[in-house]
A = this chain, B = another copy of it.
Amino acid sequence: MLSTGHYLILSSLSRNGPESRSELALRLGMSKAAVSSLVRDLLKQEILCEQAPVHGSGRPSVPLAVRAEAAWFIGISLQDDPAIVVLTDLHGTVHDRMELPRHADLETCVSSLCEAITYLRRGPRSAKVSGVGMALPGFVANDRQTCLACAALGWRDVDIGGVLSKRTGLPTWIENDANALILGEQLFGALRGSPDFSVIFISNGIGCANIVNGRLLRGYAGGAGEMSHAPIVTDMAHALPCRCGNRGCLETVASLLAIGNAARRAGLPGDIAELARLAAGAHPEALSILHHAGASMGLATAHLIQLIDPSHVVVMLDPNLRDGIYGHALLRETESHILRRPASRSMIDFRDFEPDSFACGAASLAARYFIFGPDGV
């Protein structure tokens, strides 16, 4: 069994990349003796490995790294249809994947997922698969087991975590899709280790999550990051009703669904790629719709930046939108509404929608437990 000390080492190596025993001791404020002994255990258990020595003056230091093959994880995304199930290693690399229809019926859903999991666990790795994570578009209880509400699947108070855990015999964690995404980014992604950043994704809906002080910002009722229903259109003459009951929410103008609807209302094609092509050809209505959507998104992003002050905002969206007037309006509107920062670089990183992002984030939920331990250092 691993102790708190072991987990400290593991999480530091995972966050900060390979480091020698001496560097670890310095960073963690522990004695070299303690680190040495803890590392010995982790090497014996083949969780860490030694890398090629680094030569300086004096005895070379031996960087220690987390072994990718030390543990494997299953990640499930119900964010969209089809559902995606992946098998990742401890570095978040996907080694195998499956797509299957997303079933709303709990029993059908669980059986098809379990079948996929059994398939992905085949072979010698089986014993080292350490947990399952699931991302879904909805609210999840604090126990990270129960889905409190999921409009897309029609679920209410569904103990999907408990059921999966019982059927697979593996510990299981459930998360909201945006939260899973940012937790994956924090553990595996380019922004690994950054203590303050945000992720926004724009698809049929709009999702947002924030890491602050190195931890996920959940809020009092788990509703933090609900950018999607930010009151953006305040001119009530133009505010559209939203499914949440209010009017003028961000998602009524800036989501793919909203853009498609607006286009159809104007007699244009509802398909995003086609609409973007029209806009690129200077079609005035298409330009207007996409500009309004992008600027609204930018305004909401400015609110986010002013309130939360992240170091980066990762924005995942369709390349057609990113490269056209939507992306341009988003950037311009954001930057014109935030206080000038000393670093003049843009803090917005566009990123393509990659199909496995959510499933990877889901797998990271289980990996997190392996790396940070039961107390979540």
Contact = CB atoms under 8 A, between A and B. Distances in A.
Interface stretch (A37-45, A58-66, A210-218, A357-365): A210-218
Contact of A306 (B226, B235, B338): B226
A246 B210 CA distance: 25
A341 interface: yes
B340 A245 contact: yes
B226 A307 contact: yes
Interface in A200-250: 208, 210, 212-213, 215, 217-227, 229-231, 234-235, 244-246
B306 A230 contact: yes
Contacts of A337: 231, 246
B309 A220 contact: yes
A219 B310 contact: yes
Contacts of A303: 230-231, 303, 307
B221 A342 contact: yes
B306 A336 contact: no
Nearest to A298: B231
A223 B336 contact: no
Stoichiometry, copies per complex: 2
A304 interface: yes
A151 interface: no
Nearest to A347: B220
A360 B306 CA distance: 27
Interface in A312-345: 336-342
Given A196-B219, A212-B213, A224 B308 contact: yes
A303 B308 CA distance: 11
A33 B373 CA distance: 26
B309 A221 contact: yes
Interface centre among A197, A220, A227, A311 (most CB of B within 10 A): A220
A175 B229 CA distance: 33
A309 B303 CA distance: 14
Nearest to A29: B375
A299 B231 contact: yes
A302 interface: yes
Interface in A125-159: none
Contacts of A342: 221
Given A212-B212, A234-B234, A235-B235, A307 B245 contact: no
B220 A310 contact: yes
A50 B303 CA distance: 49
Contacts of A302: 230-231
Nearest to A312: B220
Contacts of A309: 218-226
Contacts of A222: 309
Nearest to A196: B220
Interface string A140-183: 00000000000000000000000000000000000000000000
Interface centre among A223, A245, A304, A336 (most CB of B within 10 A): A223
A246 B221 CA distance: 34
18 contacts: A196-B220, A197-B220, A208-B307, A210-B307, A217-B217, A219-B309, A220-B309, A220-B310, A221-B341, A223-B339, A225-B309, A227-B306, A235-B235, A244-B340, A245-B340, A246-B336, A246-B337, A303-B303
Interface of A: 195-197, 208, 210, 212-213, 215, 217-227, 229-231, 234-235, 244-246, 299, 302-304, 306-311, 336-342
Given A210-B307, A303-B307, 9 more contacts: A196-B219, A212-B217, A221-B309, A223-B306, A223-B339, A225-B309, A227-B306, A230-B303, A235-B235
